[in-house]
Homo-oligomer: A and B are copies of this chain.
């Protein structure tokens, strides 16, 4: 009884829902542009911009601005470090959620009483 209980300390850079959304998308498509991320995530431009900036600062993604025709195109790509951080995050959170996956009023489970 009273196990050590695994510390819940996810990478907060990844844990933030907005950034997690970005990372999930990038892990699926590997290379997306601003507008694509914008519509997929549903966030505002400012929001998206600042979050991508933070992810880039952490080297989790790379941002590449190319010139296409008359205008620019900004593409975002997951780095190896980002993929690694994401994998770590997944493992960590999976472990945490598994502590829950047989109790706590699941849809197919009788809820706990008081």
Contacts and interface: CB of A to CB of B under 8 A. Distances in A.
A69 interface: no
Nearest to A86: B104
A114 to B, nearest CB: 6
Interface in A30-81: 30-33, 35-36, 40, 42, 75, 77-80
A5 B106 CA distance: 24
19 contacts: A2-B40, A5-B24, A7-B42, A8-B21, A24-B99, A27-B99, A27-B104, A29-B109, A33-B112, A36-B112, A36-B114, A75-B112, A79-B114, A80-B114, A83-B104, A86-B100, A87-B100, A87-B106, A87-B107
B112 A30 contact: yes
Interface residues of A, number: 54
A10 B2 CA distance: 28
Interface string A8-37: 111010010110110011011111110110
Given A87-B107, A105-B83, A114-B36, A96 B31 contact: no
A90 B112 CA distance: 16
